[in-house]
Amino acid sequence: MKFARVIGNLVASQKVKGLEGVKLLIVQPLDQQRQAEGEPYVAVDATNQAGEGELVFVIASKEAAFALPVSFVPVDAAVVGIVDDVDDRPLYDAASVDWRVFVGK
């Protein structure tokens, strides 16, 4: 599962059976700092709610097909979640941890 940003929509005049009514989105993959990384690609919208500019979760490979109502359709990537908020704070303050507890005295 990776972060991506929706940068556009794709309109198809014909779709494979099982993909009728499923939105196709163009997504830009992001790195850990949420900066563009790599080339944009097409992903189906399993949430049916994602729009341009939104931060989303994308899954790839065989699992992408499982996110859709009709299983085993030919898709390589699927948007499975829309991100509301990201908390970048560390889980603990590394400076305040007494490392002797873990290493031994």
Question: Taking the model in full, what pTM does it have?
Answer: 0.81
Nearest to 30 by CA among 65, 68, 57: 57
- Give tens-digit pLDDT for 50-94: 999 999 999 999 899 898 888 789 999 999 999 999 887 776 666
> Counting every residue, how long is the chain?
105
**Token pair for residue 60?**
């790839």
Model confidence at 3, pLDDT cuts 50, 70, 90, reads: very high
Domain that holds residue 76: 2-103
Q: What is the dihedral of CA 3, 48, 23, 2, to 10 degrees?
A: 10
The CATH number given to whatever domain includes residue 42 is: 2.40.50.220
For 15-36, what is each residue's pLDDT tens digit?
999 899 999 999 999 998 899 9
Number of domains making up the chain: 1
